Amino acid sequence: MAIDHVWPEIESGRFPIKRVAGDTVVVEADVFADGHDALACALRYRHERERRWTEVPMAFLSNDRWRASFAVDRLGRYHYTITAWPDRFMTWRLDFAKWLAAGQDVGTQLAIAAALVTAAAARARGADRTALHAAAAHLAAEDRQAAVAQATADDLAALMARYADRDMATTYDRELAVVVDRVRARFSAWYELFPRSTSPVAGRHGTFADVDAHLPYVAGMGFDVVYFPPIHPIGRTHRKGKNNNPRAAADEPGSPWAIGAAEGGHDAVHPALGTLEDFRALVARARDLGLDVALDLAFQCSPDHPYVRDHPEWFRRRPDGSIQFAENPPKKYEDIYPLDFSTDAWPALWDELARVVQFWIDQGVRMFRVDNPHTKPFAFWRWLLDRVRDRHPDVVFLSEAFTRPNIMYRLAALGFAQSYTYFAWRTTRSELTDYFTELTQSPVREYFRPNLWPNTPDILTAYLVDGGRPAFLIRFILAATLGASYGIYGPAFELCEATPLQRGKEEYLNSEKYALRHWDLAQPHSLRTLITRVNAIRRAHPALQADAGLRFHRTDNDQILAYSKATPDRGDVVLVIVSLDPQWPQAGWTDLSVDALGVDARQAFAVHDLLTGARYRWQGARNFVRLDPAESPGHIFHVRREPRP
């Protein structure tokens, strides 16, 4: 007997798939054997904290393909596999039906059935054993009509399936796994802010109390996660000044990613921000507002970090004996020392970094954005993420790895719950369609959860620079509806900050990475109202809370992108139509896949623009749209079938 092409299965079971609590895992496989015996299959699953397997019968689809599903309602890891066996009673039953249809004498066949049922009774217990013995007696009785009725009874078939003879059973040669996260790992809206720039007084260093006062603004826009760049003491040696000047003035704060000073390292907070007690109070306040606090994990050090003094063996040396600072030619980061993961002292280094993560978990943090994970060993991440998940299955890690696709996918497979993507640089219809089809329709969808960011402190794209406020509108609508998870670096994004340090560079002028900023949140061109509306739409519509239901639709204008998201039962369907041109009005005809929308091409259906409140009556695939970036560059339609007259 063969069990092949099991799905979902990632690299022969080397890595787990991912789901969130409340999801259903649908499993399929090809199951077949030599000969003509009927087969039976069962999907077996158990949570990692359980020893006993639960079985679900698999249903035959066609052409040797079988399917079953199970629900995952606990955080952590589930295991699943498949077992199959020749079903002797079902084989007999199918043949018996043919004997009856042919009008043949079935006495011998009934005797065979009685023997099979008697054997099953020996495997049963309690009332089921009694029922099977009674059935065997009926099959052997002289009343042929009653015996035939018993032989063809569905309740007997169900009992025989429950106590099938599995002496010839085959079990798939590996146990597969599914990691179950909390829902926020699949559906979340992130807002990045620098705590030091939250002071209401220009030029004054912000504090955790200032952040606390800022939280209602973030929560009021409907975000789920407020993410802070590093909040640790900042080194003074080779401190960078404004606009990445290699020489900082005495009063300049330096880069938060140059972690560590006399005041402490990765388990300390910058004294100007406050105390650990202040931080814990901030985390609690955020939680009361429905926000998770996410911290940046940047495993690197300033030259002043205590590790440099206490553990010089954790750093790489140049030929002259000095410690190697970070470089990304032609860029130089003299204020940062990378940790050397190839050191002979790696066990102590790994343990210390795990201690740092646990320290912040103890302070109430349950989400981490990890800086440049692709510059650290895969083995380290698998060890660390498994260790944390075993103890704290509710912790979520976001991978910030802008590198080659295979590396990004491998980090996700190793355990990162979410991942940054190339979204910021995908701007044309073909680029967006191809990329998001790959992310949502290829096997990577089973473990790679995209988190879409139109900007970051390091990324100010030419599209945003050249397109003005309409470009920000477009990219926001795309990020928030193409992805179940997205993030913005604010307030720079909602205030449409788009002045580059230098033309052709993605660096901001007067970047917040090197200087305090003071933001006027009441500016009239702010996107705050739109952001609040779209986040409310996301929360109201389950279709936007997952990525698997994404489908693209054709239009006759390359500047117009159309796509829909739907729940599996088509109970909620959202259709998004966006102009990709931030400068000129665009118009065109759609060519919608009515099947993806769950509507009848012959009937009218209603589309309700969730952004403006406008309602339209459409029919069939072809419908006309016109989008003006000066007014609104996109529609977010709720699609509803109209009742038949």
The pLDDT value recorded for residue 223 is 98
- Residue 545 is classified by DSSP as G
What distances in angstroms separate CA 279 from CA 212, 283, 491, one per listed residue?
10, 6, 21
The pLDDT value recorded for residue 456 is 98
Integer-rounded Cα radius of gyration of the chain: 30
Residue 128 φ/ψ, nearest 5 degrees? -65, -40
- Single out the catalytic residue among 400, 512, 572, 581: 400
What distances in angstroms separate CA 140 from CA 87, 107, 115, 132, one per listed residue?
21, 9, 9, 12
CA–CA separation, 202 vs 565, rounded Å?
43
- Single out the catalytic residue among 296, 304, 335, 371: 371
Strand runs labelled E in 445-497? 450-452, 485-489
Which amino acid belongs to residue 466?
A: D
The CATH homologous superfamily to which domain 2-180 belongs is Immunoglobulins (2.60.40.10)
Which amino acid belongs to residue 352?
A: E
The pLDDT value recorded for residue 332 is 82
CA–CA separation, 593 vs 611, rounded Å?
23
Cis bond before residue 500 (omega within 30° of 0): no
**Taking Cα atoms as reference points, which of 232, 252, 150 lies closest to residue 517?**
252
The helix (run of H) or strand (run of E) holding residue 80 is: strand 76-86
Residue 190 φ/ψ, nearest 5 degrees? -100, 145
Asked if residues 64 and 32 have their Cβ atoms less than 8 Å apart, the reply is: yes
CA angle 302/305/310 to nearest 5° reads 135
Asked if residues 383 and 346 have their Cβ atoms less than 8 Å apart, the reply is: no
Q: How many angstroms from the chain centroid is the CA of residue 8? A: 16
Residues 6+ away with beta carbon under 8 Å from 620:
592, 594, 601, 602
Residues β-bridged to residue 440: none
Strand runs labelled E in 290-409? 292-297, 300-301, 326-328, 331-333, 337-338, 367-371, 396-400
Neighbours of 543 (CB within 10 A): 23
CA–CA separation, 278 vs 227, rounded Å?
17
CA–CA separation, 316 vs 468, rounded Å?
44
**Taking Cα atoms as reference points, which of 416, 414, 438, 418 lies closest to residue 426?**
438
Residue carrying structure tokens 């080397």: 14
Q: Would the CA dihedral through 487, 490, 494, 500 be positive or negative?
A: negative
**Taking Cα atoms as reference points, which of 267, 204, 197 lies closest to residue 232?**
267
CA angle 401/8/452 to nearest 5° reads 30
CA–CA separation, 122 vs 140, rounded Å?
17
CA–CA separation, 238 vs 247, rounded Å?
7
Q: DSSP 3-state assignment of 388? A: helix
DSSP states of 147-193 as a string? HHHHHT-HHHHHHHHHT---TT-EE-SS-EEEEEE-GGGTSEEEEE-
Neighbours of 49 (CB within 10 A): 9
Which amino acid belongs to residue 401?
A: A
The segments of the chain whose pLDDT lies below 70 read 643-645
As assigned by CATH, the class of the 183-232+280-295+354-543 domain is alpha beta
The pLDDT value recorded for residue 302 is 98
Which amino acid belongs to residue 572?
A: D
Strand runs labelled E in 215-255? 225-228
Residue 142 φ/ψ, nearest 5 degrees? -75, -20
Query: Whole-model pTM?
Result: 0.95
CA–CA separation, 287 vs 267, rounded Å?
21
Q: DSSP 3-state assignment of 15? A: strand
> Is 400 an active-site residue?
yes
Asked if residues 385 and 368 have their Cβ atoms less than 8 Å apart, the reply is: no
Neighbours of 276 (CB within 10 A): 13
Token pair, residue 83, equals 């077992």
Asked if residues 420 and 398 have their Cβ atoms less than 8 Å apart, the reply is: yes
The helix (run of H) or strand (run of E) holding residue 619 is: strand 615-619
Domain 544-641, CATH: 2.60.40.1180
CA–CA separation, 499 vs 492, rounded Å?
10
Neighbours of 66 (CB within 10 A): 25
Torsion of CA 216, 222, 225, 228, to 10 degrees: -50
The pLDDT value recorded for residue 565 is 98
Buried-state track 135-144, b at ≥16 Cβ within 10 A, e below 16: bbebbbeeee
CA–CA separation, 478 vs 454, rounded Å?
9
Q: What is the largest CA-CA distance in the chain?
A: 105
Q: DSSP 3-state assignment of 314? A: helix
Domain map (residue ranges) of the chain: 2-180, 183-232+280-295+354-543, 233-268+300-338, 544-641
The pLDDT value recorded for residue 643 is 62
> Is 371 an active-site residue?
yes
The two domains 2-180 and 544-641 share their CATH topology (first three levels equal): yes
- Judging by DSSP bridges, how do beta strands 76-86 and 170-171 pair with one another? antiparallel
